[in-house]
Amino acid sequence: MKLSVLTKIGSFLLHLVSLATVVYLVLQVGNWYYAHRPVLGVDFYNTVTHTKYLHDNFEFLPRNFKYFWYGGVAGFQDVYFLLYNATALISNFLPLVDTVRVVMVGLLVLFVVFVYLAAYRLSENHPLSLLLSILVAYSANIYGALTWGGSLPYFSSQIFFPMVLWLMASYLATGNKKWYLMGAFASGLAVLAHLASAGAFIFPSIVILLLVGVRKVKVSLPDKFKEVGLVIIIAYLVGLRITRSMIKGTILTLLSGKIPYSFGDSIAARVRLGSGGISVTGNADLIGFERSHFQILFNETNHWLYLLLGLALTVLVIGLLLDKNKERIFSIFAWLILCGYSVIYVLANSYGFTFLFQGWYRAFWHFPVTLSLFIAAIFGYTKVSLSSRFKLSGIFMFITLGIVSVLGIFLINFYNEKGNLITILEAKASPSSAHPEALNLIRNQFELDKLKLSLVPPWLQANQKNYRLYTSDAQVNVWWNSVFDLPLVRGYLDPPIGSALTGNDFLLDQAVGGDGLVANFKYPVDTAKNMALYYIDWNSIAFAEGGHESKSPNKAPSSYLSDSIDTRSEITVPGAYILYETKSGKPEVWEDVPQKLIYYRFKSDLVSPIVSVSNSPSLLCLCNWSAYESLTKTLSMNNINSQYLVTAFYENSIESLDLNDISKFDVIVLSNYKYNSRGTAFGLLEQYVKKGGKVFIETGTEVSESEAQNLPGIFPFSSTLRKGLGKVWNLKSADDPVFQGVDLGAFSPPLYNEAEWKFSFPQSTALKSDSEVLLKNADKPLIIRRKLGNGVVVWSGMNLAYHIHANTNVSESVFLLNILNSLVRLERQPATLGTVEFKSSRNIIFTSQNSGHGVMLREEFYPGWKVKVNGREVKAYQSGPTYPGFIFVPIATVGPVKVDFSYYGEPSWYFIWGVSLMTAITIVDLTVFNGLIIGRILKKLLYLFKKGLFGWWEKEES
């Protein structure tokens, strides 16, 4: 047998022994994590929750709908796509909690294995690579996201850093482009795992290695830049569901005069570049605290790595002196720069330059990796340099480093480095944030299943999906849906709609819990109660939890809701993790310490279910979100909830609807509306009114008709002006029922930021027939009612709803409510329960013997929902006090209905999904199957464009 074959067999056997040793030693740390009581990592249950959801509702296509928080959100928008889907698949074979722990331990092992592979690629020494990988595993820095923050998606993303470094190092060492393509593909997977981690560490590393790294096959500088560009393109396409908005967002941020990706933003300090140089502002104590974090980078990297670094530098000097080709020293420069980047990155963060800041619990993990690979690169260079002088130097170095490495492994075990590591981790780790803490003390899924029976009172049906539970405690909502199916009103993570659209979420929280509207904003108690009941009905809040003692702030239902509660139960769950109040002074598990959950059930007549028939009249607001939000606040102040009036809004142009569409609504409100053709839009509305419809037109806002000539025929006059009418009211009202219970003297002043409120009013006193003035100010008509055909038009030039919204004026809200009541009778008409089947999170079937005025699904109407009534697809509308709105289907016919609600996602997502999938298939074809199918096509295209971006592909592979 040839010596080369024996060498390869020997190397393979050494790899097996080394990797077995890696797995064995790393699993000792993994077993500590797996069996730890309490469960470690603040956000641990967030991953369990998403794993359970995807296990129960797995979708290969981009159409899953995450129903359980905030009325639901599109699953395609989930930024932590990779981990959650992986754990969901594995949970088909393992219990839920065990799955998450096993996956984390498995990822830890693979992380260290890739460090070993990268170190071996650089050093070509098995024992040294084994020692370096174990020292990385015994560095506390790499565990922050796992045992401290519990950001498991982030921890899972760490595996791609050593993986990509190994793949790119292999490409540089061999010139084989398969390694390059696999590295580019892995960087795309890293984006899907966690964009911030990939952006901060993987892409800078790729740039450094491709531009500075020494190669077996030389490449020109322009081609190096092309390689960098192609990596970015491949990664962008693989991670397209995450990256698709990056370019637009970056351009918009730069155009706004800001630097993207959080550069210069820090909790403690802000760094600004100006004509006077660099300035740092912020709290001095916090600045000092932030800067002190930099030392952690070195303190919690295993100190044996520094000893190896010292040895490596000593050997480097010898190797450099003896090297016949001293230019070879440049082979370590890329790895030196990479290691330096790891240090400078954290240093810059600690001094306020926070480009893609990771958070201190996950800011240091990359340094042990780059340091170990720098050491490996030094020994690899030294081996080559000495070989130029001595033929047997390679064998000598292998034996020497083997002895040193074996001795090192012996010493790190002798000095109990694993125990020292665990001591550090115990001191810095945080238990899972779940309350009650008995949830953190479980050992496995069996114990969790046993515990969940004692977490809720017998009367709470925690696995039904047609009502919701309100809790303000983040330590409850983080675990709730990992155990139960009952959806929550709030969620552990905020909905992806932006703070400008969450006003109703804020008002709901302040109204329903803790007397917030009264205590914080001085709302009248009756108004606050009305608003609470309004949100309880609309959001199907049948149950609440709160008011217990917890480490996290939480609120019991507001005191003014005491007569709205049917049942109250306290649940006591034994078990707690006491951090400091112990005799030993160390955290201890106390099995018998009681902790409580307090549950409430609201009276059933106050709550409409998530899916039901609506028997109430309906109102369609042709308006933007701001105007609609003002309208819903007015209704909420008087508890005109969905049992009295269903409100929907439509923000597209008026004429995009037809007469059949709007005729299904009892009232149309126009405010901040838009159209493409005035004549078509208002002609449609005029037809609607003449056939018996009711329309309320608000031109007090900034619309064209607020100051215009030759107004459409639906208006009670022909022209308008818009201006202020003084800073005090001079009101005169008609003798009409709309003023019943209205105190005009209690109206808030007509002011906007101390300036006069702008009113729209008729330019002439001449009104059209059948018109009557209901309210004047300074002798200018502001509210006019007109009969038109079989219907009624009420015009307002006050921007009344917004004035109510801005001032929370009760008397004004009663006035607007009376106007609406004059158009459609606002009487309580409870929803009708039918039969609902939640086939999956994206498909709900509802049947009823009575169609009522329509069917309501109180889940968020993101683009991609389709509704069929009795087999025919129908138009649905955004409704309720939430954004983008619940799903309302007005039905004009009478009789039995079967309604199919199905979520398909947005059409563009299928293109994105397809592009990513085809990119992945192409890379697999080129690397695994040698371009058997797609590769042939690409080579033809590459040949045609060989002088372009991909010209380098045709070079001979070695």
Q: Where does the pLDDT of residue 253 fall: very low under 50, low under 70, confident under 90, or very high at 90 and above?
A: low
Gap between the Cα atoms of 270 and 273, Å rounded: 10
660 lies in the same domain as 678: yes
Arithmetic mean of pLDDT over the chain: 90
Q: Is 236 domain-assigned?
A: no
Residue whose pair of structure tokens reads 């939000």 in the numeric block: 629
SS3 213: coil
Provide mean pLDDT across the span 31-59: 94
527 lies in the same domain as 626: no
Q: Is 234 domain-assigned?
A: no
Q: Write out the H or E segment, with its range, that includes residue 232.
A: helix 221-238
Provide mean pLDDT across the span 647-662: 97
Among 871, 889, 905, the domain-final residue is: 905
Domains held by the chain: number = 5
Q: Is the pLDDT score of 258 beyond 70? A: no
Gap between the Cα atoms of 895 and 852, Å rounded: 8
Which is higher by pLDDT, 357 or 531? 531
586 lies in the same domain as 638: no
Which is higher by pLDDT, 5 or 757? 757
329 lies in the same domain as 417: yes
- 745: domain CATH number is 3.40.50.880
Provide mean pLDDT across the span 669-682: 96
360 lies in the same domain as 478: no
573 lies in the same domain as 664: no
Q: What percent of the chain has pLDDT over 90?
A: 71
Residue whose pair of structure tokens reads 């160390």 in the numeric block: 586
511 lies in the same domain as 490: yes
Q: Would you state the torsion angle of the CA atoms of residues 675, 679, 680, 684, taken in this order, to the nearest 10 degrees?
A: 100
Q: Is the pLDDT score of 278 beyond 60? A: no
pLDDT score for 262: 47
SS3 832: strand
Q: Domain range spanning residue 798?
A: 616-823
Return the closest-CA partner of residue 366 out of 130, 591, 202. Answer: 202
Q: Which of 574-588, 749-763, 783-797, 905-919 has the lowest mean pLDDT?
A: 574-588
912 lies in the same domain as 788: no
Residue 902 one-letter amino acid: S
pLDDT score for 369: 98
Provide mean pLDDT across the span 787-812: 97
Q: Give the best-scoring range by mean pLDDT among 69-83, 241-255, 873-887.
A: 873-887
Q: Write out the H or E segment, with its range, that includes residue 793.
A: strand 791-796
pLDDT score for 267: 44
3-state secondary structure 44-76: HHHHHHHHHHHHHCCCCCCCCEECCCCCCEEHH
Gap between the Cα atoms of 715 and 785, Å rounded: 10
728 lies in the same domain as 665: yes
What pLDDT, in 10s, does the model give residues 86-145? 999 999 999 999 999 999 999 999 999 999 999 999 999 898 999 999 999 999 999 999
Gap between the Cα atoms of 364 and 379, Å rounded: 24
pLDDT score for 871: 94
- pTM here is 0.90
Q: What is the DSSP string of 537-590?
A: HHTTEEEEE--S--SS---PBPGGGGGGEEEEEEEEEEEEEESSSSTTSS-EEE
Q: Which of 3-12, 270-279, 488-497, 525-534 has the lowest mean pLDDT?
A: 270-279
pLDDT score for 325: 81
Q: Which of 590-594, 631-635, 931-935 has the lowest mean pLDDT?
A: 931-935
Q: Which of 261-270, 287-296, 686-695, 924-933 has the lowest mean pLDDT?
A: 261-270
Provide mean pLDDT across the span 36-51: 93
Provide mean pLDDT across the span 423-452: 91
Q: Is the pLDDT score of 885 beyond 70? A: yes
Q: Is 260 domain-assigned?
A: no
Q: Is 288 domain-assigned?
A: no
Among 774, 798, 823, the domain-final residue is: 823
Provide mean pLDDT across the span 847-874: 96
Q: Where does the pLDDT of residue 283 fall: very low under 50, low under 70, confident under 90, or very high at 90 and above?
A: low
Q: Is the pLDDT score of 717 beyond 70? A: yes
Gap between the Cα atoms of 721 and 714, Å rounded: 17
Q: Give the best-scoring range by mean pLDDT among 8-12, 100-104, 268-272, 950-954.
A: 100-104
What pLDDT, in 10s, does the model give residues 310-333? 999 998 888 888 777 878 889 999
What pLDDT, in 10s, does the model give residues 677-686? 999 999 999 9
pLDDT score for 11: 82
Provide mean pLDDT across the span 612-625: 97
Token reading at 369? 């990796």
Provide mean pLDDT across the span 377-390: 82
Q: Is 257 domain-assigned?
A: no
Alpha-helical runs (H) found in 456-524: 474-477, 480-483, 503-512, 516-521
Q: Where does the pLDDT of residue 392 fall: very low under 50, low under 70, confident under 90, or very high at 90 and above?
A: low
pLDDT score for 957: 46
The answer to whether 53 and 66 have CB atoms below 8 angstroms apart is: yes
Q: Is 108 domain-assigned?
A: yes
Torsion-angle region of residue 225: left (phi > 0), alpha (psi -120 to 50) or beta? alpha
Which is higher by pLDDT, 583 or 228? 228
Token reading at 282? 């912020």
Gap between the Cα atoms of 326 and 806, Å rounded: 75
Tell me the CA distances in angstroms from 195 to 47, 62, 142, 825, one per residue in order: 17, 19, 18, 53
Strands (E), 212-369: 269-274, 277-282
The answer to whether 770 and 786 have CB atoms below 8 angstroms apart is: yes
Q: Which of 354-363, 544-553, 681-690, 751-760 has the lowest mean pLDDT?
A: 354-363
> How do 667-671 and 694-698 pair as beta strands?
parallel
Q: Is 64 domain-assigned?
A: no
Main-chain phi, psi angles of 172, to 5 degrees? -65, -35
Return the half-sphere exposure (C-beta side, CA atoms, 13 A cut-off) of residue 636.
32
208 lies in the same domain as 103: yes
Q: Is 264 domain-assigned?
A: no
670 lies in the same domain as 761: yes
SS3 325: coil
What pLDDT, in 10s, does the model give residues 707-716? 999 999 999 9
Q: Is the pLDDT score of 954 beyond 90? A: no
Q: Is the pLDDT score of 766 beyond 90? A: no
What pLDDT, in 10s, does the model give residues 179-229? 999 999 999 999 999 988 898 999 999 999 999 999 999 999 999 999 999
195 lies in the same domain as 344: yes
Among 565, 583, 606, the domain-final residue is: 606
